[in-house]
Amino acid sequence: MDAMRKPLIDHRSPEFHGLYQSVIEKAKYLFQTKNDVFILTCSGTGGVEAAICNTIQSGDKVIVPVLGVFSQRVSHAVKAYGGQSIEIRVELGKAPLPEQIQEVADREGTIKMIAVVCNETSTGVKVPDLAKMSKIAEEHDALIFADAISILGGDELPIDSWNIDLCVTASQKCVAAPPGLALISLSEKAWEAIRRNPRRPHYFDLVKYEEYLSERSETPFTPSLPIFYALDEALSMVQEEGLEKRFERHRRCSSALYSAAEEMGIQIFPEERFRSPTIIALKVPEGIEDKALRGAVWEEGVIIAGGMGKLRGSVVRIGSMGVVSRREVETTINALGNALTKLGKQVSVEKALSVAERALRS
């Protein structure tokens, strides 16, 4: 917030060149990559659109595991640009398995891309086998695209060692800056696909982004400067903490929230092996209305989200990413426990806090 109070500068000035270079360098650390990274002025969805519209040509086959609302949107984006989305339907609360993708890829023969939402924010599911999926893409000479919007910076996702061709995240999630910027990384193989594509988008033309960056250290269009300032600061904070420590903090905080919820008798929505370390999806306890629960938690000073799509009304979701520590975890457990008590459930907030404490220390 302080970073955003700086005076605005001309985005065609040497001052901006320095800022842009600084953000890009730090973003490469976040992505653990030597690949090109660009910052787009748009929300995360714009980044997803950029990944698709630059690479996908009419008729291209794209394998899309659909495990919730956000992966359904990826499939929609593929179709919007003339691609053939080969959807793999996954039961809500589960993640796609590499074998399922392998089978479809072998059956389809020529595929252009495997597009994976690696943390499905609508169901609280993390896809654990992204590296294996990347190998399948490689075997089929296809690209692998990762929508890592709600996980990059909160959990291990090394772009170079897992050979991820395109990866997108957004400023407002695990990086903990305000919303308004999308970050995208592109491998050489992704560039080859882009160069082969006869159709170029306008606002999201990544070739133009590359030319402007390499020739002038600028963006083709006006960047959202205040958010650039904030992202620069937020990425410095990521570096100061260090990725490993940051991942560990996310693991501990989510594990504390999961165990406290279970202690209070709340069921976790995803299957245990697929639980996300950044978004906690909980089943609304029987006999309680989802709106009443969220309302009572809100009265305790904490905001939690409702379910999306088919899970509306039956699931609530707790964001456990970015600025999350003992303080946020304990405040949330207190709020949830007090809300449940108010709504007539017998829970021991003290016991929940004590199991959370164990997880935070482990």
Ligand X SMILES: Cc1ncc(COP(=O)(O)O)c(C=O)c1O
By the criterion CB under 6 A, which residues form the site for ligand X? Answer: 43-45, 70, 117, 119, 121, 147, 149-150, 170
Distance, CA of 350 to CA of 150 (rounded, Å): 30
Among 120, 162, 169, CA closest to 271: 120
- Choose between 117 and 177: whose C-beta lies nearer to ligand X: 117
- Choose between 324 and 355: whose C-beta lies nearer to ligand X: 324
Quote the DSSP letter at residue 97. Answer: -
Q: How far is the CB of 122 from ligand X (least distance, A)?
A: 8
- Choose between 122 and 334: whose C-beta lies nearer to ligand X: 122
- Choose between 16 and 274: whose C-beta lies nearer to ligand X: 274
Distance, CA of 210 to CA of 205 (rounded, Å): 9
Helix, strand, coil percent content, the chain, rounded in steps of 5? 45, 15, 35
Q: How far is the CB of 242 from ligand X (least distance, A)?
A: 24
Q: How far is the CB of 340 from ligand X (least distance, A)?
A: 26
Q: How far is the CB of 137 from ligand X (least distance, A)?
A: 19
CA distances from 285 to 188, 262, 309, 310, 336 (A): 49, 11, 19, 17, 12
Quote the tokens at residue 64.
């899309």
Q: How far is the CB of 81 from ligand X (least distance, A)?
A: 17
Q: How far is the CB of 121 from ligand X (least distance, A)?
A: 3
Q: 310-337 burial by CB neighbour count: b if 16+ within 10 A, else e?
A: ebeeebbbbbbbbebeeebbbebbbbbb
Distance, CA of 112 to CA of 150 (rounded, Å): 25
Q: DSSP labels for 45-90?
A: HHHHHHHHHHH--TT-EEEEEE-SHHHHHHHHHHHHTT-EEEEEE-
- Choose between 43 and 341: whose C-beta lies nearer to ligand X: 43
Q: How far is the CB of 77 from ligand X (least distance, A)?
A: 10
Quote the tokens at residue 235.
């990425």
Neighbours of 144 (CB within 10 A): 27
Run of H or E residues at 167 = strand 166-170
- Choose between 85 and 119: whose C-beta lies nearer to ligand X: 119
CA distances from 231 to 226, 235, 252, 359 (A): 9, 6, 25, 30
- Choose between 71 and 255: whose C-beta lies nearer to ligand X: 71
Q: How far is the CB of 16 from ligand X (least distance, A)?
A: 24
List all residues 6 or more positions away from 107 whose beta carbon is below 8 Å from its beta carbon. none
The closest residue (CB) to ligand X is 44
Give all strands of the β-sheet with 279-283 in edge-to-edge order.
279-283, 315-319, 305-306
Q: How far is the CB of 151 from ligand X (least distance, A)?
A: 8
CA distances from 162 to 119, 138, 235 (A): 16, 11, 22
Q: How far is the CB of 178 from ligand X (least distance, A)?
A: 11
- Choose between 120 and 232: whose C-beta lies nearer to ligand X: 120
**Where does 162-267 have alpha helices with state H?**
188-196, 206-216, 225-241, 243-263
- Choose between 170 and 333: whose C-beta lies nearer to ligand X: 170
- Choose between 117 and 213: whose C-beta lies nearer to ligand X: 117
